[in-house]
């Protein structure tokens, strides 16, 4: 229903804003634990979709790397106005932002993206999210679902759909694709003090594709998602996150034959996961699964620089923080 709703919104967008120069939403991609099959919140499932944004006509979205003292890989989505004079000569109904007089542009054409959702020359995360949420509110009444469902738009591009006693929550993450790869820069909430023009590199799409790859290869009674879900439900969220467990399981899925993940092997699966986690805690080393992983499926496309990069250590914060390491060990003991 979430993806169907996003398709309908995209259709209305194409009809109603075809003459404007806002980012163009593409088909939503299902990401996160709910779609991967191991959501730790069985009774309150949280659905997340990544909405790729393409530049409107007469615009380009080159990505500029910004690693100034930040632990994540961050990018600025620059907005450029390439010359489109050739389109004018071919009779296309669009003036060149670069070479037409400003007065002529103001009189005959909608403003460029630089004058709507940008801060400086960069696409602004907050402005983009606010604009799209406003668009959803206005468009909702045009959709047939509005007769039966109630839509509540929440902060951070979340929205809740409810009907009688039934309800579910979804979040839109906006992304700009890195080339033709399955890696995006996304609009996830940044840390305090980070500028609103900063987009964080995300492997969510490639990880979701990895789970689909495993589902196609694994036996029908594979319980790898059950193992991950059970352990994630047991976390108190103090020492480490469910993403830590997800990373451990992904490493093991690529190392242990998939025939050993059946329902009858469930107990051994839990033992293997906990052993791997224990070893990672002892060494304070847990490599990111996607980046620079030689075992990563070739069918999932990664940028060449990401294949050769040094994989981040998800336990780097434990190396210099004795108290954080102690809390993580206590969390592990609770899991045992």
For the stretch 209-243, pLDDT in tens is: 999 999 999 999 999 999 999 999 888 767 888 99
| pLDDT over 60 at 70, yes or no | no
Among 67-71, 120-124, 185-189, which range has the highest average pLDDT? 120-124
pLDDT at residue 121, rounded to an integer: 95
In this structure, which CATH number among 3.40.630.30, 3.10.28.10, 2.30.30.90, 1.10.1410.40 belongs to the domain 218-334?
1.10.1410.40
302 or 92: which carries more pLDDT confidence?
302
pLDDT at residue 69, rounded to an integer: 46
| pLDDT over 70 at 88, yes or no | no
pLDDT at residue 228, rounded to an integer: 95
pLDDT band per the 50, 70, 90 thresholds, residue 197:
very high
What are the sequence ranges of the domains in the chain?
Answer: 1-203, 218-334
| pLDDT over 60 at 185, yes or no | yes
| pLDDT over 60 at 190, yes or no | no
**What Cα–Cα distance (Å) separates residue 144 from each residue in 17, 159, 244, 316?**
20, 17, 40, 49
CATH code linked to domain 1-203:
3.30.460.90
pLDDT at residue 112, rounded to an integer: 93
pLDDT at residue 164, rounded to an integer: 87
pLDDT at residue 67, rounded to an integer: 62
What mean pLDDT is predicted for residues 241-265? 95
Same fold, 1-203 and 218-334: no
- pTM over cut 0.85: yes
């Amino acid at each position: 229903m979430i993806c169907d709703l996003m398709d309908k919104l995209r259709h209305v967008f194409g009809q109603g804003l075809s003459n404007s120069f806002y980012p163009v939403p593409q088909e939503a991609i299902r990401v996160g634990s709910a779609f991967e099959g191991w959501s730790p919140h069985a009774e309150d499932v949280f659905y997340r979709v990544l909405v790729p944004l393409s530049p409107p006509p007469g615009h380009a979205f080159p990505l500029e790397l910004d690693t100034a003292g930040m632990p994540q890989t961050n990018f600025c989505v620059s907005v450029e106005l390439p010359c489109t004079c050739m389109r004018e000569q071919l009779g296309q109904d669009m003036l060149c932002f670069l070479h037409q007089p400003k007065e002529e542009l103001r009189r005959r054409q909608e403003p460029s993206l630089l004058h709507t959702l940008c801060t400086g020359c960069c696409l602004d995360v907050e402005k983009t999210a606010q604009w799209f949420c406003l668009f959803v509110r206005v468009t909702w009444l045009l959709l047939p679902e509005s007769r039966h469902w109630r839509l509540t738009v929440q902060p951070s591009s979340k929205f809740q759909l409810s009907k009688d006693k039934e309800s579910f929550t979804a979040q839109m993450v906006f992304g700009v694709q890195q080339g033709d790869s399955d890696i995006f820069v996304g609009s996830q909430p940044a840390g305090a003090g980070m500028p609103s023009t900063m987009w964080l590199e995300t492997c969510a799409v490639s990880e979701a594709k990895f789970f689909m790859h495993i589902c196609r290869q694994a036996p029908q009674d594979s319980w790898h998602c059950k193992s991950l879900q059970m352990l994630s439900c047991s976390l108190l969220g103090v020492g480490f996150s469910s993403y830590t467990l997800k990373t451990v399981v992904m490493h093991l899925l690529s190392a242990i034959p998939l025939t050993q993940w059946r329902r009858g092997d469930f107990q051994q699966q839990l033992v293997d996961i906990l052993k791997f986690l224990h070893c990672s805690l002892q060494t304070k080393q847990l490599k990111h699964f996607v980046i620079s992983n030689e075992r990563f499926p070739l069918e999932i496309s990664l940028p060449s620089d990401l294949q050769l990069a040094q994989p981040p250590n998800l336990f780097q914060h434990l190396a210099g923080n004795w108290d954080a390491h102690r809390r993580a060990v206590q969390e592990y003991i609770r899991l045992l």
